[in-house]
Structure 1
C-alpha cells in the first residue's frame, strides 16, 4: 500500500496549536463581557416598536409636547378606613420624597378616588435612565415610609417595564448554567467519556464569548439594538447550534479514527466530510434569521443580524477550534471507549449484513415497509396539526407578559377597582390646532373614554381640561379658583390631546376603543394621529401578524434554494421543505393544546409563531441536511436506496444526540419567567424532538426510499445507467424477503 503524503510536523502540530491559541485569546477577551451586557442592553419600549405605525409617530413626538422624555408610573394607594383628608396630608411628605429620587420628574399630588377608598399618584420617570432601578427605589421608599394601614403598588407603563426587566435578570447566570448543564449531562450519557463533552462545550462557550464580544461593540456603536429577549435567544441559539455542528464533526472524526487513520489524516477526512453540511446548515439558519430584516418590528429586525453573528461564530468554532482540539487529543478524546479499528465502518452492503443495533433495524424497517411508514407518519403529523385551530396568537395584555408575581399587575387590578382603568396610560392624539373641537368631541363621545385633556407644559399638572360647546373650546386647570389657565402646548401648529380610557390600557376592550377612535377621527381629520400604550400594543400585534404573513413564505423560498444548491436536485429539497412544514404545523398544534389545556396561558404574542417557524424550519432542515448530504455521498458509491439506508445508519446516532442537545438548550429558556420565551422554549424543544424522532428517522428516509433515484432529479444521480437501476431494484426485493 503506497504511503500517503504527510505534511510537515510543524503544520500538523503548529496549526492546531495556533488555532487553539486564537480562540483562547478570543474567549479571554470576550468572557468578561457577560458582566457588561447591561451597559449596551436595553428593554426600553422603543426597541419593540413598529417602525411605520401611527403609534410610533406619536411616541417619537411625545417629548416635543410634554417637554420631557419620560415613561409614566402610577402609584395606587389604599388605606384601612379610606382616604380622608388627614390621610392624604400624611401622604404628601412621602410624595415629596419620591420627587427627590434621581430620574423622577414632577410628581402629581395624591389624587383621591371618587369612592374615597384609594388615591393615585402620577410619577414621570426619565426613559433615558434605568427605569427599573428608579421604580425599585420608589417601591423600597414606599415600603419604608408609608403610614401604618396604607398599602401601595407601583404600576403603569414604568411598573410593567420594571417587572419585565426583572424577569430577564437570570439570563446571564441561570439560563447559561441550566443550558450548559443539560448539554453536558446529555453528552456524557451519549459518549460515556469525561473529556469529549468538555471539548464540545468549549466549542460552544468560546463561540458564544466571541459572538457576544462582537455584538457588544456593535451595540455600543449603535449599529444593532440588544434587548433582553434578543440576548436570551442569542445565548441559547449559539450553544445549541455550535454543539450540533460540533457533534457532526465529532461523528466524522470518530469514523475516521475507527477506520485506522492517524490524528492528522482523521482531522482532514472529518473536516472534508463535515464542511459542506455544516456550512449549508449554518447558511439555512442565517438565511432564515436575516429574513427577519423584512420585519417592521424593531425587536424582530434586531434579532436577525445579532443571531446571525452568533451562528457565524458557531460555524467557525466547529470548523476550526474543535478540529484543532481533536487533532491534539486524538483517540484520547474518546477515552475510555476509544473507537476500535473497523468498529465504525459500515458493511459493504447493508442488504447482506446481519441486523444488529437500533439504526440498522430502523433501516430494515424502512426498506421493507417504506410506503406504510411515511403514510402513517404523515397522518399522525397532520392530525397533530389540527390543534393549530386552538392557537390564540393575537396578542396578550402587558400585565400577562411576566409569569409569576408582578406588583404592576396586582396594582393594575387595584387601580381598576377605584379609578378609570386606563389611568396613567392614556391615549395620545395629535391633531391640527384648528381641529381640537372636532377631535375632543369625538373623543368625549366614545364610551371607552373617561375624560379628555390637552398637554400644556405651563400647567402645574402638565395638562389642561378640555370642554367643547359647539365650535368653542374651553380649557380648565385643577387648583384653587383664580389660577390662570395656560394654553395647550402647540408644536408645528398641532396640539396633543390626552384621552383617559375607561378600560385597562392593555385590554382587548381598550384596543377596540383605539380602533373606533381612529376610524372616527380619520373621517373628519385625516392628519390625526392616535398613539399611547394601547395603540402601541395594537399596532405591534397588527405588525406581527403582517410580518409572519410576509416573512414565512420568503424563508421557505430561501431555504429551498439553499437545499437545491446543496443536493444538486429539485425533488429532494421540495420533499424536505414539505416535511418540515408538516412538522412545524404539528409542533404548533400540540403546543396550542398544551398552552390552553395544561399551562392555561392567556394567549400568545403574534410573533411567537414567526419565531417558532424561523427556528424550527431552519434548525429542522439542519437535520435533514445532515441526513441527505450523507445519503447523497453514499448514493454516489452504492446507489440511491442503499445510500438512503447507509446514510440513515451512519447519521442516526449523531443527529439524535444533536436533537436532544438542541431541545434541551431551548427548553432552558423556560427558566426565564417571560411568557414569550416560555412559549418559544416549548415550541422549539418539542418541534426539534419531533423532527429528530419522526421526520428525520421515519418520514424523510421512507419517502426517499419509496421514490428511489427520482429524488435526485434532475441531477445525474437520477439518470443512472440501467445496470445501477436494476441493482437498486434487486436490493429492494432482497430486503423485503
Structure 2
C-alpha cells in the first residue's frame, strides 16, 4: 500500500532526519526570500465590487460633488457645561493650521478659521457643549495614513490647548476630542485587529499547551503539535506573503488572526489523530518503527480526507462576492493544506525520532515490556489510558444497546437548540462591535446625544432630472425617519444631476436605518416619475455608509445562498467517494448541518440572553457554517473510518462499540482543544470575533460530545447493513446473516 511505503519513508532510520531537515530548509529559505503575510496586510481593501449600487453612487458623487466626497474624519469636541470661547478659538487655530499645512491625503476642510467666532458658535450643539470638525481624506486613503493624520491632529491640538483633549475623559468636565465617522471607525477597526494578533497568538499557544498537558500529562507530547503548527505557519506565511505581493490575493488582519486560530485548532487535531493511533499500537508492538508505520497506514487516510474536506470547503469562499469573505478562501485553505502535509510528514518524523519518549512520563508499552518495567521499577500501566477506554467503552455500550433512546434524546436536544435560530437578530453595524471606550464609538455617542445620530453618516441621494423640474427635496420631507434634508445641489460636470444630503433621525449604522435605503430609492424614483422621467430607478443613486451597509446585507444574503449549498454538495461528494456509501454520506451531512443550527441557536442564547447583545454580525452565520460543517466532518470521518475498518473483521455492533471506544479519547481531546482555540476569540475586544468564537466553539463541542459519540453511531446501529449501501459492507452483512 502507498500509505505504508510513505510511512516507512518518513519513519526510516535516516529518512526521518531528512524529512525534518527538509522542513527546516523549506521554511528557512521561504522566510528569507519571500515577505511574511503580516507585512502584506491590506486593511482598506474594498468589500463591495464596482457593480454594487452604493459603489456606483460613490463614483458619481466623487465626480459631480467633489467638495463633499472622500473619507470624513469627524473630530468631535465636547465640554460638559458648554464649550468656551477659547475652545472655539483653538478649533479655529487648528483649522487654519491644517488649511495651510494639509495632512497627507487631506482632500477638504471647512474654512471655520475664516468665520467670525459668534457664527462658528452657532454651529455647535443646541446646548453649546459639542462641536464637530470634519476633515476629509481621499477615498483611497489607507488606514495607516488616516491614523498618521489623526495623530498629527492630536499633536497640534495639544500644542494649541496645552493639554491633550483626545485623552481626557468624557465626563471629566474638561475639553475632550474624539475621532469618529468613517475614518475613526477604520482606524479603530485596524487597531483592534492589529492589537489582537499578538495576544491571540500567545493565548492560543498557552491554551493548547495547557490542554495537552492536562489531557495527556506529557510535556514532550504537548510540544509536538506546537512545533508542527509553527512549521506549517512558517511555510504558509511567506507563500501567502508572496502571493499578496504579486497581487494574486489580498489579506487583511482579520483573516490572519482567524487563520492563526484555525491552524492551531485543526492542526492539533490532525496531529492527535496520528499520535493517538501511534500510542494505541505501541501498547501491542514492541518495535517503535513498525508501530509508527502501522499508525501511519491507519490514520493517514482519515487525516488526508479530513484535510482535503476542509480545504475544499474553504476554497468555496472564492465564490463569495463580499470581499472580507472572499479574502478568507486562499489563506485558510492553503494553511490547512500545509498543516495536513505537516501532520503526514513532519509529525511522524518527530515521533520516529523521539519514539516512546514522546509520551514521557506515561510511556506506552506492550504487556511484555510492561512486565519487565514493573519488575525493574515497580510501576503500573498509567491509569489514564484505562479510564479513557472505560469511558469510551461505556458510551459504545449505550449506543449499541439503546440506539433509539440515544437518537430520540439527542435529536430533541439539538432540535430544541436549533429552533432558537428563529429568534436571532442580525446587524451589519460594525461600530456596535467595538468596545464602548473606542474613540470612534465615544465620539458617536456624543454626536447622538448632542446632535442627531444621522450626522455621523449622512446619505447623499442623487437623481438625473434630464433638465426637468424635480421636487426631490419636497418628496423626501414627508419621510418621518429623516432628521435633516439639505438644499438641492447641481452636479459640477452635469447640471441635470441634482443631489440632496439627508440625515437619519436614528443611528445610521443600525439595521433599522439601513432598511430604509430601498424606501429612499423608491421615494426619489417617484419624484422622477411625477416629472415624467422614465425609467426612474436607473436614474437614482444613493451613496453613504448606510447605503454601503444595505448592499453588504444583500451581498451577504447572496453569498449565503450560493456558498452553503455548494459546500454541502462538495463535502457530500468527497464523503461518497471516500466511504462509497450513499446512506452514510446522507446522515453524516445531515447530522453536522443539524449541529450547526443547534450551535447557532445556543450561540444566540449566550450572546443575547446572557451577554445582552442586541444582534449578531450578519456575516457570522456564513463563517460559522463553513468552519463547523468542514471541521465537524473531520470527527465523523475519523470515527466512521475506524468503524468501517473494524467491520471487516467483526459484526457491525461490535465494530461500532470498538470504534467509539477507540476514537473516543482522541476525538474528545481534539474537540476540547479545537473548541478552546475558537473560544480564545471571545477574549478579544471585538464583538464580531467574540460572537464568531462562541458560536463556533459551541458547534465543535456539540460535534464532540453529542453528534460524534452518540448520534452518529446510534444511527449507524439502527440502519445496520443499510448504513453501507450500496458499498461492500452492506453485501457482506447480508451474506453473513444468510450464512448464520
TM-score clears 0.5:
yes
Distance 1:654 1:419, change over 3 A: same
Q: Which sits farther off after the overlay, 440-449 or 171-180? A: 440-449
1:90–1:147 CA contact under 8 A, matched in 2: no
Q: Which sits farther off after the overlay, 625-634 or 579-588? A: 579-588
The CA distance in 1 between the partners of 2:11 and 2:631, in whole Å, is: 35
User: 2:116 is matched with which residue?
Assistant: none
1:72–1:424 CA contact under 8 A, matched in 2: no
1:489–1:495 CA contact under 8 A, matched in 2: no
The CA distance in 2 between the partners of 1:135 and 1:32, in whole Å, is: 35
1:128 aligns with 2:127: no
The CA distance in 1 between the partners of 2:590 and 2:11, in whole Å, is: 45
The CA distance in 2 between the partners of 1:237 and 1:354, in whole Å, is: 30
1:48 aligns with 2:47: yes
Match for residue 446 of structure 2 among 408, 414, 422: 414
Match for residue 550 of structure 2 among 538, 546, 566: 538
Distance 1:87 1:645, change over 3 A: closer
1:164–1:401 CA contact under 8 A, matched in 2: no
User: 1:582 is matched with which residue?
Assistant: 594
1:258–1:344 CA contact under 8 A, matched in 2: no
The CA distance in 2 between the partners of 1:692 and 1:6, in whole Å, is: 30
The CA distance in 2 between the partners of 1:33 and 1:124, in whole Å, is: 39
Match for residue 431 of structure 1 among 463, 478, 486: 463
Secondary structure at the counterpart of residue 638 of structure 1: coil
Match for residue 328 of structure 1 among 353, 369, 373: 353
1:103-122 map, 5 Å: 103-110=105-112, 112-113=123-124, 115=126, 116-122=128-134
Q: Which sits farther off after the overlay, 306-315 or 510-519? A: 510-519
Distance 1:17 1:92, change over 3 A: same
The CA distance in 2 between the partners of 1:354 and 1:498, in whole Å, is: 69
Distance 1:239 1:9, change over 3 A: closer
User: 1:685 is matched with which residue?
Assistant: 697
Secondary structure at the counterpart of residue 431 of structure 1: strand
2:9–2:15 CA contact under 8 A, matched in 1: no
The CA distance in 2 between the partners of 1:22 and 1:141, in whole Å, is: 54
Match for residue 173 of structure 1 among 176, 195, 198: 198
Distance 1:684 1:51, change over 3 A: farther
Match for residue 386 of structure 1 among 419, 428, 451: 419
User: 1:25 is matched with which residue?
Assistant: 25
Shift of 1:421: 2.7
Query: Deviation string for 1:519-565 (max 9, x for gaps)?
Result: 12234332222121111111112222232233222222221111111
Match for residue 360 of structure 1 among 393, 414, 419: 393
Query: Deviation string for 1:73-118 (max 9, x for gaps)?
Result: 1112234653566643332112234453434333224452362443
User: 1:400 is matched with which residue?
Assistant: 432
Shift of 1:53: 2.2
1:499-578 map, 5 Å: 499-523=502-526, 524=528, 525-527=536-538, 528-578=540-590
Instruction: Provide the aligned length of Structure 1 versus Structure 2.
Output: 686
Query: Deviation string for 1:31-58 (max 9, x for gaps)?
Result: 68999655421322x4332664211222
Q: Which sits farther off after the overlay, 311-320 or 160-169? A: 160-169
Match for residue 269 of structure 1 among 291, 294, 299: 294
1:155 aligns with 2:180: yes
1:192 aligns with 2:205: no
User: 2:683 is matched with which residue?
Assistant: 671
Shift of 1:387: 1.7
Match for residue 407 of structure 2 among 331, 356, 374: 374
Structure 2 unaligned segments of length 5 or more: list them: 113-119, 164-173, 371-385, 529-535
Q: Which sits farther off after the overlay, 682-691 or 395-404? A: 395-404
Shift of 1:10: 11
Secondary structure at the counterpart of residue 490 of structure 1: coil
Shift of 1:244: 0.7
1:209 aligns with 2:234: yes
The CA distance in 2 between the partners of 1:10 and 1:380, in whole Å, is: 45
Distance 1:361 1:55, change over 3 A: same
The CA distance in 2 between the partners of 1:344 and 1:642, in whole Å, is: 29
Structure 1 unaligned segments of length 5 or more: list them: 346-352, 454-464, 467-474, 476-486, 730-737
Distance 1:600 1:636, change over 3 A: same
1:65–1:496 CA contact under 8 A, matched in 2: no
User: 2:207 is matched with which residue?
Assistant: 182
Distance 1:645 1:341, change over 3 A: same
Query: Deviation string for 1:560-590 (max 9, x for gaps)?
Result: 1111111110111111111112211221111
The CA distance in 1 between the partners of 2:693 and 2:222, in whole Å, is: 23
Distance 1:79 1:674, change over 3 A: closer
The CA distance in 1 between the partners of 2:7 and 2:695, in whole Å, is: 48
Shift of 1:659: 0.3
Distance 1:510 1:542, change over 3 A: same
Q: Which sits farther off after the overlay, 417-426 or 693-702? A: 417-426
Shift of 1:432: 3.0
Secondary structure at the counterpart of residue 637 of structure 1: coil
The CA distance in 2 between the partners of 1:506 and 1:399, in whole Å, is: 7
Shift of 1:449: 4.3
User: 1:626 is matched with which residue?
Assistant: 638
Secondary structure at the counterpart of residue 122 of structure 1: strand
Secondary structure at the counterpart of residue 499 of structure 1: strand
Shift of 1:172: 2.7
Distance 1:342 1:606, change over 3 A: farther
1:47–1:227 CA contact under 8 A, matched in 2: no
The CA distance in 1 between the partners of 2:697 and 2:72, in whole Å, is: 38
Query: Deviation string for 1:355-395 (max 9, x for gaps)?
Result: 962112222222221221122111111122222122112x1
User: 1:597 is matched with which residue?
Assistant: 609
2:389–2:661 CA contact under 8 A, matched in 1: no
